[in-house]
Amino acid sequence: MKYDCEMISDLLPLYKDGICSDVSKRAVEEHLRECPKCSKLLSAMSDTSLDERIIKEKNEVIDSQAKFFKRKSALAGAIVGAVFAVPILVCLIVDIAAGSGLSWFFIVLASMLIPATLSVVPLMVPRYKMFTTITSFTASVMLLLAVICIYTRGNWFFVAAASVLFGLTLLFAPFIVCRRPVNSYLKNTKGLAIMGAYTLTFILMMLCIGLFVKSALYNSLAASICIPFLVVIWAVFAAIRYLPVNALAKTGISVALISSLTYVPVKLALNAAGQIASATGVVRGSAPTALMMIIGLAVGLLLTVIGIVIGMTRKGKRNEKV
C-alpha cells in the first residue's frame, strides 16, 4: 500500500465530513480500495446509531427531570395557595357569623390575589413566567381597586386604575419588552415600544383625571404642560437612540434640546397656573429666564462640539491603523 494506515485513519474524520483537500481525498479513496481495515473503520464512523441512542437517552433524562421539577413546583404552588386561602376562609366565616353578608370578603379575596400572583403564578406557569406574573399582578391590582370602589360606592376607579397602570408601566415595561414572548415581536424597536407605552398610559391617566375633575381650566392647564413636555421627552429619546454620534455628543444635544424646548412651555404652564394661583392664593414658582435657556443651550452646544471632535479624532486614528 502506498499510504500508511495510521496517516489515513487521521484523515478519515475529515474525509467523512467532506472538509479535506482534493489531494487528501484522492489519497484516502486510493487507500480504501486496497485496505479493508480502514474501510471497516470508515463504516464504523458512518454508523450514527450510537449517537442517536445517546441523544435519545439525554432527551429522556431531561424530560424526566423537567416533569419532576414541574410536579414539585405544582406542589409548592398548591401549598402556597392553601396558605393564602386561610385568611380568605377566616374572613368568610366571620362575615357569615356576624350576619353582615359578604361585605369584606371580596376585598380580602382580591387582596390575597396580589401576593398569590407573585408567588403561586411563577411556580405554576411552565413558560413566559415573568410576562405572565407581571400581567397577572397588574390584573389583580386592577381587580382590587374595582372591588374597593364598588364597596365604597365611589367614582374614582378609572382615575386610580389609570394612575396605577402608568406607574406599573414605568416600572415593568423595560423588563417586559426584553423577555419572551414580547422580545421576539419587537426585536430592534424595544426602546420605541417602551416610550410608546409610557406615552399612552400617561395620556390615559391625564384623560381620566380630566373626566373626574370635570373642569375646563384643568384641560387647558394639563394640555399646556403635558404636550410640550412630551415633545421634549420624545425629542431627547430620538436624539439618544437614533443619532449616529458618541455619548458625549448625545449628552450635549439632549441638554440643548431640554434648554431650548422647555423654556416656552414652562412659561406657558406657569401663566396657566397663575389663573389658579390668583383664585386660590397659592404661591407661584418663578418663570425661567432667557439667560437660563442661553446658558443651557451654550453648554449643550459645547458638549456636542467636543463629542463630535473626539469622535472624528478616534475615527481618524482607526483609519490610520488600518
Residue 56 maps to a domain = no
Q: Which of 47, 62, 82 is the last residue of a domain?
A: 47
pLDDT over threshold 60, residue 45 = yes
DSSP 158-193: HHHHHHHHHHHHHHHHHHHHTSTTHHHHHGGGHHHH
> 121: which residues sit within 8 A by CB, 6+ positions away?
129, 132, 133, 136, 137
pLDDT at 170 over 90: yes
Please check the confidence at residue 11 and state whether its pLDDT lies above 60: yes
| Nine-digit cell string for 122 | 411563577
pLDDT tens per residue, range 223-241 = 877 888 888 889 899 988 8
Highest averaged pLDDT of the listed ranges 203-207, 254-258, 259-263, 280-284: 203-207
pLDDT at 197: 94
CA-based torsion, 16, 21, 25, 28: positive or negative:
negative
Q: Is the pLDDT of residue 201 over 70?
A: yes
Does any domain span residue 92? no
Residue 191 has pLDDT above 60, yes or no: yes
Higher-confidence residue of 205 and 32: namely 205
Whole domain around residue 241: which residue ranges? 218-322
Number of domains in the chain: 2
The segment with the largest mean pLDDT, out of 6-15, 39-48, 245-254, is 245-254
Predicted confidence (pLDDT) at residue 118 exceeds the cutoff of 90: no
Within-domain flag for 264: yes
Burial track 188-225 (b if 16+ CB lie within 10 A, e otherwise)? eebbebbbebbeebbebbbebbbebeeeeebeebbebb
Band the pLDDT of 280: cuts 50, 70, 90: very low
pLDDT at 283: 45
Please say whether the beta carbons of 149 and 157 come within 8 A.
Answer: yes
Q: Say whether 285 sits in a helix, a strand or coil.
A: coil
Residue 167 pLDDT: 94
Locate 265 and state its grid cell: 412651555
- State mean pLDDT over 302-320: 81
Band (pLDDT 50/70/90 cuts) for residue 264 is low
Taking the CA atoms of the chain, what radius of gyration do you get in angstroms?
34
Share of the chain above pLDDT 70, in %: 82
Which residue shows C-alpha cell 433524562? 61
Question: In this structure, is residue 19 part of a structural domain?
Answer: yes
Query: Mind listing the pLDDT tens digit for each residue in 49-64?
Result: 656 677 777 777 777 7
Position with higher pLDDT, 46 vs 308: 308
Instruction: Annotate 231-283 with three-state secondary structure.
Output: HHHHHHHHHHHHCCCCHHHHHHHHHHHHHHHCHHHHHHHHHHHHHHHHHHCCC
What is residue 200's predicted lDDT score, i.e. its pLDDT? 96
The whole-number pLDDT of residue 281 equals 46
User: Average pLDDT of 197-209?
Assistant: 94
Name the helix (H) or strand (E) containing 105: helix 105-124
- The per-residue pLDDT for 152 is 87
State which of 14, 31, 47 marks the end of a domain: 47
Higher-confidence position of 229 and 71: 229
Mean pLDDT, residues 162-179: 92
Res 122: pLDDT: 83
Long-range Cβ contact pairs of 70-78 (< 8 A, separation 24 or more): 70/126, 73/123, 73/124, 74/123, 74/124, 76/123, 77/120, 77/123, 77/124
Q: Which residue has the higher pLDDT, 213 or 219?
A: 213
Among 76-90, 178-192, 235-249, the least confident range: 76-90
122 assigned to some structural domain: no
- Give Cα 153 to chain centroid, integer Å: 36
Could you tell me if residue 141 is inside a domain? no
Q: What is the pTM of this model?
A: 0.68
pLDDT tens-digit readout, 284-294: 455 556 777 78
pLDDT for residue 142 is more than 60: yes
For position 224, what pLDDT does the model report? 76
**pLDDT above 80: residue 165:** yes
